Chain A
Amino acid sequence: MHIADGVISISVAATTTVGAVGILAYSLKGTKEEEIPKISLLAGAFFVASLINIPIGPTSIHPLLGGFLGLVLGRRAPFAIFIGLILQTLLFQHGGISTFGTNMLLMSIPALFVNYLSSIKKNIPLFLKGFIAGVIAICIAVFLLILLLFLSDQRYAEGTFSVIRLLVLAYFPLAILEGIVTGVAYKYLYTMRPSLFNGAGGTSS
């Protein structure tokens, strides 16, 4: 899910850019020197992990990992997403300058929400926790995307096969797949490195 330039209106682009700056400032606040290598490396690793293609017939999909980022990096997730998006824009040449704020909010808000949920609901089996995080992150991102498209131009919602309906149809199965992958990866990571999640040097808040 990488929104290209030209798809959303100037007013939505400007508003989301301002929102993204706010969320980045929140994420950056209080970053300690010892967190820098971890945030840098995890941002790079998440970015690369999201490039893993899962082949389905003639096409392939790739995980977004927004929910997983929320679980691992907590409050610092928007910062890592910001870095990942710069790399995506410049290194992998996906563009998206005017939609940079939109793309950042589409991943950051679900990541922060997942982090919040994880902090209030602690006694959930590991796989289930990762699965819920993956599914919820995609659902929130798609909901936000639909909202921003609708605010940009109502023609995106017109007709039986409207852009918005197609998005819901395309992303619902992807949310399930993302949930399974996130669930397995989270369980694996938690089992191998529990210290990453219980505050011992972790960045989760």
Chain B
Amino acid sequence: MEDQLEEDKIRKWALAWEPRTKLVAVILFIFGVISLTTIPTTVTAYLFSLLMILLMGISITLVLKRYLIILPFLLLMTIPLLFSTGLTVSNENLTFAILILLKAFTAMTVISILLDTQTMEQFMRSLAGLRVHPIIITVLMHSYRYVFLFLDDIQKMQIAAKSRLFKGGISIRNLKIFGQLIGALLIRSVDRSERVYKAMTSRSFDGRLRVRPTSTITSLDYLKTSFMLMMIFLLIFAENWVG
């Protein structure tokens, strides 16, 4: 999720989807997907999510890169399942491992709808519209702004360490340096928080940041959300009552 979207690539209907209804659709769809227990229904959910992102104009390469982020953890969870009974792979465990991968990839594909069709500001406004506690939104907005500053800080610290011939590794001396880097980053953040608080109180900060009101939900937004939810309910229904 970025501050600016590549609006020329994403279809208008996806950009116009009201963020609150979009968030609800994505969350419920993912919970629906993880409740599926057979390969045909899960593959259908996966193909549906792929079709959705293609119709929205979301880059498939970007989605594949996101799969790579979660792949190491998924391999740790699935490869031992295949060889738990020795070198012969049981069909039951193979199906279970495939289901895990399919569900994870489907979820990541659907999350891309959230990540690529709205800005962070729109997401925060949708949270406010869903009546999330104002303190949570205030803290989230602050943290989001400062994360980039800290990333810059930590990068500079690591360059400084490298320029002093620090190469990393897990010796006690090196771990001590890593610990001190973390400590130094936190001290900077505490100092900064004190300055920020003083600046904010001098500008009448009362514990909550103002966010612009969310746009109104149209019948088209309800239709998009209902369509996604209907799809997953049909799959759950097919699995439990038809199959």
Contacts and interface: CB of A to CB of B under 8 A. Distances in A.
A186 B193 CA distance: 19
B103 A5 contact: yes
Interface string A89-133: 111111101100000000000000000000000000000000000
B138 A36 contact: yes
A contacts with B: majority SS: helix
Interface string A185-196: 111110011001
Contacts of B30: 5, 97-98
Contact size range, A: 35 or more
A33 B182 contact: no
Contacts of A151: none
B216 interface: no
A87 B84 CA distance: 35
Interface residues of B, number: 85
Nearest to A158: B84
Contacts of A52: 154, 158, 178, 181-182
A166 interface: yes
A130 B115 CA distance: 37
22 contacts: A5-B106, A5-B108, A6-B34, A6-B102, A6-B107, A8-B34, A10-B34, A36-B197, A44-B143, A44-B147, A44-B150, A51-B151, A52-B181, A55-B168, A65-B182, A82-B136, A83-B136, A93-B69, A93-B111, A180-B179, A193-B187, A193-B190
B93 A177 contact: no
Contacts of B193: 37-38, 40-42
Given A6-B33, A6-B34, A188-B184, 12 more contacts: A7-B100, A33-B206, A36-B135, A40-B142, A41-B142, A41-B189, A44-B146, A94-B69, A98-B31, A155-B92, A166-B80, A180-B172
